[in-house]
Amino acid sequence: MAESTTDNTVQKSATLLERLNLQERGWKFYAAASIPPIVVASLALWYYSSSRDGEAGASKDEDKKKSKRKAKKSKKSAKPADESAAASSSAAGASAGDASSSAGKPAGASTASVGEDDEERPESMTDAQIAALDGAALKKLAQSLKSRGNKFFQAKRYPKAIELYTQALRFDKDPVFYSNRAACYAAENDNDKVIADCTSALKLEPRYVKALMRRAQANENTERFRDSLYDFTTACILEDFNNTLAATSAERVLKKLAEAEARERIEKREPRLPSKSFISGYLNSFRSCGDEAVAAEGEQLSEADTLYNEALSFIALQDYANGIASIDKAVAAIDEAGTADGVLRADDIYSLSGMFSFLKSSLDMSAARLDKALEFNSKHVRSLLRKANLFTEKRDLDMVSQLLEMACEIEPENAEAFFQKGQVDFLKQDFAEAAKNYERAAGLDPDFVYPRIQLGVVQFKIGKMQDALATFKEAMERFPARSDLYNYYGEVLAEQGGPDDAITAFEKAIELDGANPLPYVNQAIAVFQSSGNADKALTLIQAALKVDSECELAVAALSQIYLQLGMFEESLSMLRRAVDLAKSEEEMVSAITFRETTAAQYRFMKEHPDLLNKMMGAMP
């Protein structure tokens, strides 16, 4: 029986997550260069509008309205708590007991002048006298105090309004009174008291959206962004995602939270290399890392050149840590000597050092090393291409284009330069021009596989599926042992909606190179999406992580599968890991955004299981 209940809870939670749009993110969320722009809306102080009285200012018929209200006064005051928080929990059906969004006043407040002699004075009663009253009398007197408080609020006499709402609470612990008093504190910018009163209101009525919105704004004002996000998220859920202000406010707060944390993390963390699979993928987009230094007959290589050759050997073995150590020593040897005299590959030494600095996201150091390489050799095309990558990261595509044009002028037949031009066109979504540059690169160097891969991808992007398949098949005939070729081919097939053929391609990629984690991850995704076989998908991702424990795509995919299985703690653990692995500030913002969105929604599930069950029970 317990097992059945657990399964049911997981199913309900997963269904709710679908409504929260968590699963609309692509599987390659963290590999993307950026996320869609977050909507930013300005918000000073928000009060929900009332469905009854809430218009600012008196109309021409105000006298008539006042007489009608006066006639109804005794009848209304006899009703017990007619403006309950439960009735005002949604924006559309808010009661008159709370503060108005349009005028910043309690919704039932009259615009008549504030009087001191037209009401009863229950605030002078002692605690003993109050204790002797029955329930109906308590509510009647509480409503009287609240109504007077509304008038003072409208008159912007907030201390007096606070006093009256406080007195009303002596008679009746109505959440509306807490929320109205919070509105006064908000007007006085006393955010801590706003939070305290809204919290009291929500303890009495957890579905009180107005109190949630007020507390969310106060939390945002005091930079308690995580709590603010939770309140805005809860308001979205309670209002069935029809509360546009809550949604845009959640996005705004989420942006502030993610950007602040990412900025702080980037400033504090030491430069680090990305995963081995990421570095390998980056290096594969170039024909080589550099030309080996060869001494003239009868001469010996300099210390720097020897270390440079050693670095190239380590890189060929994918031993990047030792490769970096060797190239750093080579740079140090030149710097200590104070001259590059006798060094054959000074340009390549500084260029390779700049490349690794770029991979560590040390962009200033990378720029300095690449500039130094170009000082040694102004026509060093490899450094121009790497510098173009650097400015691509900085989103300065005009500078990228200039650098690539310089490279093509120096070496008009350089396949790498045209391939990189195609990559820039791809980023600009100029797919037709990208295809031309990929074709030119492939023609210039028939043994360069990546222009063919990207040509197939761009043909798929522009809807030329048959051309894309033909390009991949031709490439596979020419490069039958390239694992990465089969991996990309599988991705195109998966995007097309052919999971079986995609899985076959991924299996072939794994067969050709079991040390590449990406086809394991892609196969796991295809298996899970097509058959829902979670066990097999998890096994494949674990295999990917065994190959490369820091594979960003594997971590992201694992978090998604855990999420869809209702394993929220495990998913959040992977999302925290994804934040740690993010290579750039922009990627870190994306990872934090997903982590915080998931955490806020999971917190709602834990703190409001009763509301979750009611909501799920109402779903079709």
- Evaluate whether 315 touches 395 at the Cβ level (below 8 Å): no
Report the 10 Å Cβ neighbour count for 32. Answer: 13
Helix intervals (H) in 103-243:
127-131, 135-154, 158-171, 175-187, 191-204, 209-221, 225-238
Residues 308, 247: Cα–Cα separation, whole Å = 54
- Evaluate whether 201 touches 178 at the Cβ level (below 8 Å): yes
Residues 470, 480: Cα–Cα separation, whole Å = 15
Q: Which two tokens stand for residue 381?
A: 């095309």
What is the structure's pLDDT at 110? 44
Residues 523, 510: Cα–Cα separation, whole Å = 10
Low-confidence ranges of the chain (pLDDT < 50): 1-105, 107-113, 115, 117-119, 619-620
DSSP 279-326: HHHHHHTSS-S-PPP-PPTT----HHHHHHHHHHHHHHTT-HHHHHHH
Give this prediction's pTM.
0.73
Residues 50, 52: Cα–Cα separation, whole Å = 5
What is the structure's pLDDT at 15? 37
Beta-ladder partners of 99: 106
Q: Which two tokens stand for residue 103?
A: 């005028």
- Evaluate whether 252 touches 41 at the Cβ level (below 8 Å): yes
